[in-house]
Structure formats: C-alpha cells, structure tokens
Amino acid sequence: MTEESQRSAANPASLRPPAGPDTGRTRPGLCSVTFRGLPAAEVARRAADAGLEVIEWGADVHAPPGEPGTLRAVREVSDRYGLACCSYGSYFRATPAEPAGFPAVARAAVLLGAPRVRVWAGGTGSRSALPDERDETVRCLREAARIAADHGLELATEFHGGTLTDTVASTVRLLDEVGADNVRTYWQPPLDVPDEQALAGLVELGDRVTAVHVFSWWPGNNRLPLADRRDLWIAALGLSAGRGVEALLEFVPGDDPAVLAREAETLRHAAEQASSIRRGRL
C-alpha cells in the first residue's frame, strides 16, 4: 500500500474523488453470470425491468465465443430490451496455451457490440507465482492486448483471488508490466477486508479501474442484501463518479432472480447519493 493509501485508510473522510468536472456517469448494470440458469432473453428482460442500463455477457453459458449464431441472438435481445453490452466476460486466463484462441474471443466481443473484454491474470496468486510464470502471464496479456487493439477493444483484468490481480500492489505492477494503453482492471471489495482498507485500494487504483463488480458479501462469501453494505457502495461509487465506470451487479443472495429489482434499486440509490455527495464537494 502506498503512503497515500495508508493516509486514506486512516482517515475515511479523505476517501473522495479529485475535484473536477464529471467526465462520465456511472451506469448500473448486471453480469449475466449472476443468473447462469436463465436463458439470455430472460436475463435481459429482468435487467431492463429492474431499471439497469448495461450488461456484461458471460462467455461460459450465455455467449460462448465459438457460436456466432448464439452471439448474434444475444446481441439482438440486448438491443430489444435497450441494454448496452458494456463488456464480454471471457475466461481467457493468459496461460501459454491460450493466445491462439484469443482472436475468437475478440470477434465474439465485436459481435456482441462490447467495447471491452474481461480477462483473468493467470491461475496462480501473486504470492505463489514463480517469476517465469508471472512473465508468461504478462507476455500472454500483451499479445491479447495487441489483438484486442486490432479489434478496437479494451481489456480489463478481473480483480480476484488466485490470480496476479489478487492485491492492489500486484495489479498495479502487472498493468505496468503489460504496458498497454488498452488494458485496465475491474475492482471489487476483497473478501473480509474492512471497508476503509478496501476503499483505500480503490483510491490507489484510481483511473485504472474501468468497472466494478457490485455485491454485498460478509463475512467470507456469505451473500447479504446489497443494502447491508450500503455505506461501502456509496463511498466506492463516489470514488468512481465522473469516470464513466460501470457498476455491475453480481452474485445476488441465493442466486434468486426475484431479488434483482430490490438489489438494482439499492444500487441506483447508492449511485445517486454518491453523485450528490461528490457534487457537493466540487
């Protein structure tokens, strides 16, 4: 953690975005993996009914990269329900065997109308990865970034345990090592980390964050209503306000589609409160 982050963690009042004009509104959305068991059309309908604006289509069930017909159909249901596809949730893990398959992933994102591909930074945590393994992941991400750029796409790494983006420090290092202008990261609150510490990490990542995965887990992966961590999300969305970051609901309690409207309403209200607080500080 940098000296600035340590100061922020010690003083939650300092956890605020820099002053300046808004450059982009936070758009509320949904990760389709939240409801893997539902058809894509049903996922899109429920998202739209809940007042969400964007969707990240997952490559594992709803939008497999090798099925162009399915991808076109998913694009059609997005359009039908007025949802923008903000990203393609791929499972490209930047391992040595994968770069040859990335062009198909990039083409799938284009078919969906997604400007971004979510990728994973290897399959080993930053403390366990050997230097050669880290170097290989960096090399694979550089190649994926080159291919993505050829398709007009951005990449964003999942901020997740068991990968090289499992901590803020390792994420910053990895992005610097990849050194590509079209590669940024997602953010989500790490498990069992106090709010102040989680938010300090978001401060440190700054404008490297392109989207956040929104859920309310505590302790561990115990899924709570989003409102149970409302203060965390008002602060997090305040830090992201004005940057055009998407806030994507993921993993609702019980994987229950019936709670989506409630969770979406909490998310929208948190974003509105964050925006109001931010405007008051400018």
Phi, psi of 51 (to 5 degrees): 85, 15
Task: Specify whether the CB–CB gap between 123 and 95 falls below 8 A.
Answer: yes
| Single-letter code of the amino acid located at 253 | P
Q: How confident is the model at residue 24 (pLDDT cuts 50, 70, 90)?
A: confident
Structural Rg of the chain based on CA atoms = 18
Q: In the structure, what pLDDT confidence band is assigned to residue 280 with cuts at 50, 70 and 90? A: confident
Locate 252 and state its tokens: 């609702």
Closest CA to 110 of 63, 157, 143: 63
CA distances to 125, 161, 239, 258 from 206, in Å: 22, 20, 8, 34
* Mean pLDDT score, 175-185: 98
* CB-CB neighbours of 225 under 10 Å: 14
- pLDDT > 80? residue 281: no
Please tell me the distance from the alpha carbon of residue 210 to that of residue 247, in angstroms, as a whole number.
9
Cβ-based neighbour number of residue 35 at 10 Å: 22
* Local confidence band at 8 (pLDDT 50, 70, 90 cut-offs): very low
* Percentage of the chain modeled with pLDDT above 90: 88
As beta bridge partners, residue 183 has 155
Per-residue pLDDT at 38 exceeds 80: yes
Which two structure tokens, joined as six digits, stand for 41? 């059309």
Asked if the model's pLDDT at residue 19 lies above 80, the reply is no
Going by pLDDT thresholds of 50, 70 and 90, the confidence category of residue 276 is confident
The one-letter code for the residue type at 29 is G
273's enclosing H/E stretch is helix 260-281
Which tens digit of pLDDT belongs to each residue from 250-271? Answer: 999 999 999 999 999 999 999 9
Show the domains of the chain with their CATH numbers: 3-281 (3.20.20.150)
DSSP 101: G
> What distance in Å separates the CA atoms of residue 229 and residue 7, rounded to the nearest whole number?
23
- Residue 42 backbone dihedrals phi, psi, to 5 degrees: -70, -40
Over 80: is that where the pLDDT of 29 sits?
Answer: yes
Residue 1 pLDDT level (bands cut at 50, 70, 90) = very low
8 Å CB contact between 40 and 81: no
Q: Is the peptide bond before 219 cis (omega within 30 degrees of 0)?
A: yes
pLDDT in tens, 190-241: 999 999 999 999 999 999 999 999 999 999 999 999 999 999 999 999 999 8
pTM of the model as a whole: 0.90
pLDDT of residue 282: 56
Question: What does the pLDDT look like over 54-95, one tens digit per residue?
Answer: 999 999 999 999 999 999 999 999 999 999 999 999 999 999
pLDDT average, residue stretch 15-35: 70
Cα–Cα distance between 73 and 95 in angstroms, integer?
Answer: 30
Q: Does 273 have pLDDT greater than 70?
A: yes
pLDDT given at position 278: 76
Nearest C-alpha neighbor of 270 from the set 240, 242, 239, 230: 230
- Model confidence at 20: pLDDT above 80: no
Backbone angles phi, psi at 189, to 5 degrees: -70, 125
- Residue 168 CA to residue 204 CA, distance in Å, equals 7
Helix (H) or strand (E) holding 183: strand 183-187
pLDDT tens digits along 84-134: 999 999 999 999 999 999 999 999 999 999 999 999 999 999 999 999 999
Contact 78, 107 (CB under 8 A): no
How far apart CA 6 and CA 99 sit, in angstroms, is 38
Higher pLDDT, residue 53 or 4:
53
